Amino acid sequence: MVETQNRDLRAPLPGRNLHSVSSNDDLRTRLAVFDAEIAQLQTSLDQLILARAPVASALDSIVYPILTLPPEITAEIFLHYVDDEPLKLPKSYRRNRISGPPLLASVCQAWRGIAIHLQTLWSDIKVDDTASETLIQCCLARAKDHPLSLNLKLFQPDGHRILTAFASHVMQWESIKWKLEFPVVAQMNEIQGRLVLLKKLVLARYAMLSVPETATPITGFASAPMLREVHLHDIPPALVLLPWAQLTYLSCWRHTTQEIFEMLHQTRDLEKLNIHDPEDFQDEAPPPVQLRNLHTLMIWDCESFRFLDNLSLPVLKRLILSNDSQPASPSELLDLFVRSGCRLYNLTATDFEYGFVLPLLEAMPTLSIVRLFDMNWDRDTEVISLFKRITNDAEFLPNLGTLRIDWPFYGVPYEEVIQMLESRRYNRGDLGKLQVVRFECGSWSDQAQNDMDVDHASALMERLKALAADGLEIYIPDMTPEMR
């Protein structure tokens, strides 16, 4: 190896003056050593370049399918992703807290370019009191003039910081969900008259806070020409000034019957009504109201349906019921059907006794979609009874097209199920045919092995396959692969 291995070539030769004439030979010697070292390094570099070329070529030839998608397809995938992962803005970015659009933008240069220029990604923003105004302004800049969907959780006294950050973009607000505590309300009222795009409003009270008697009324949403959908969560309607008459969708959470009817009398054009955990009647019943355009009624966690006694819904088509408690009787619902003269097409019931739901099924021959979730079945006897009723009673649910049933015990009564499906699929004439059936329960394999011989199980499977071939959409958990 050359001399440079043993000493620093940049150091002067011992006892010599580099500027003296007598050092010329020494300088030439040192220069030659440098040139030799450079040549050696250049040879090594050339060899590395040659060795690198096939590796780089092989790497470049690898095709990553996700990166070959057209940008517009990738953008569509991003939009579906942010439906479940909205833009959340913590106080500062930490890698393990990043989600939504910032996470997409951090994957690679191609994704970053798509994400940053896709305004829709940055227009759905979820923030709380800890959010940084700088990050908010960054997101608003990337959203540009796209309509904004905001989810605000403001409980701290300085929540006005967040409102101030969004205030200059108030004319872009299209949807806002605001979980609030009332000292922040005064700042929100400053937006009144500027909500030109607002279509959906959700106002929710922080559960641990009571509404003070001297609470400032919410007036900021009094003028919103596009507003159609309002959700009030545990907030007295008297404290919210809204353009009630133009609403088509109203959702009420934990309001008294009197409050509910006060809102309904102001919202005569409602098409959808969603009532959660209503309180029962006070001293006197409210004046009756008829909602001529309401086609969908949803009622959740209701101990009594007596509040329906003063309601008329002549075009009701869809009814969704869900209950933790068990009302004694469906009589108020049946009276509503008769009083309204409605034709119900879609019924979803969750967590009820079968004895409560059966009269509803009997009262509405127009039903085409029936969904029964988490029902309190009396073992499988009530399920089998329902299947046999559908099989043998032509006047019971004659227009049934979609049936979905969940039950908590294992095993499917396949003989009864298949008889029901065949009776409602074949030779129906002008009557409606069953189109979709879906069960959430036990497995075919357990039932076949435990309750029937192989030949019988095979015969039942062939009948199911024939129904599927005829166009019936069937889903039963753990069906054998050939049926799938």
Q: Is 373 left (phi over 0), alpha (psi -120 to 50) or beta?
A: beta
* Confidence band, pLDDT 50/70/90 cuts, at residue 323: confident
Consecutive H or E run containing 473:
strand 473-475
What average pLDDT does this structure show over 467-476?
A: 90
Q: Is 232 helix (H, G, I), strand (E, B) or coil?
A: strand
Q: What is the pLDDT of residues 241-252, one digit of tens each?
A: 999 999 999 999
- Between the ranges 60-74, 284-298, 403-417, where is the mean pLDDT highest? 284-298
* Confidence band, pLDDT 50/70/90 cuts, at residue 302: confident
Q: What is the pLDDT of residues 330-348, one digit of tens each?
A: 999 999 999 999 999 999 9
- Between the ranges 228-232, 236-240, 275-279, where is the mean pLDDT highest? 228-232
What average pLDDT does this structure show over 64-93?
A: 74
Q: What is the pLDDT of residue 415?
A: 86
Please say if the pLDDT value at position 435 is more than 90.
yes
Average pLDDT, the chain: 83
What average pLDDT does this structure show over 278-288?
A: 75
Please say if the pLDDT value at position 419 is more than 60.
yes
- The letter for the amino acid at 419 is Q
Please say if the pLDDT value at position 36 is more than 50.
yes
- Between the ranges 18-27, 302-311, 397-406, where is the mean pLDDT highest? 397-406
What average pLDDT does this structure show over 306-322?
A: 94
Q: What is the pLDDT of residue 79?
A: 84
Partners of 438 in beta bridges: 404, 475
Rounded Cα distance, 385 and 388, in Å: 5
Rounded Cα distance, 99 and 7, in Å: 55
Rounded Cα distance, 480 and 194, in Å: 59
Look at 441 and 113; give whichever has higher pLDDT.
113
What average pLDDT does this structure show over 113-132?
A: 86
Please say if the pLDDT value at position 94 is more than 70.
no
Q: Is 128 helix (H, G, I), strand (E, B) or coil?
A: strand
Q: What is the pLDDT of residue 168?
A: 86
Q: Where are the alpha helices (DSSP H) in 247-375?
A: 257-266, 331-340, 354-363
Stretch among 156-160, 277-281, 340-344, 431-435 having the lowest mean pLDDT = 156-160
Q: What is the pLDDT of residue 261?
A: 94
What average pLDDT does this structure show over 101-120?
A: 88
CB atoms within 10 A of CB 245: 9
Q: What is the pLDDT of residues 178-233, one digit of tens each?
A: 887 655 566 677 788 889 999 999 998 876 556 666 677 888 899 999 999 999 99
Please say if the pLDDT value at position 421 is more than 90.
yes
What average pLDDT does this structure show over 353-370?
A: 95
Stretch among 20-34, 129-143, 169-183, 208-222 having the lowest mean pLDDT = 208-222
Helices (H) and strands (E) in the chain, counts: 14, 17
Please say if the pLDDT value at position 454 is more than 90.
no
Q: What is the pLDDT of residue 397?
A: 95
Look at 153 and 396; give whichever has higher pLDDT.
396
* Confidence band, pLDDT 50/70/90 cuts, at residue 444: very low
Partners of 436 in beta bridges: 402, 473
Stretch among 6-20, 120-134, 389-403 having the lowest mean pLDDT = 6-20
What average pLDDT does this structure show over 35-42?
A: 93
Q: What is the pLDDT of residue 380?
A: 73
Q: Could you please report the per-residue DSSP string of 281-303?
A: --SSPPPPEE-TT--EEEEES-S
- Between the ranges 121-125, 160-164, 418-422, 424-428, where is the mean pLDDT highest? 418-422
Rounded Cα distance, 302 and 275, in Å: 9
Measured at the alpha carbon of residue 347, what is the angle toward residues 341 and 352, in degrees to the nearest 5?
A: 115
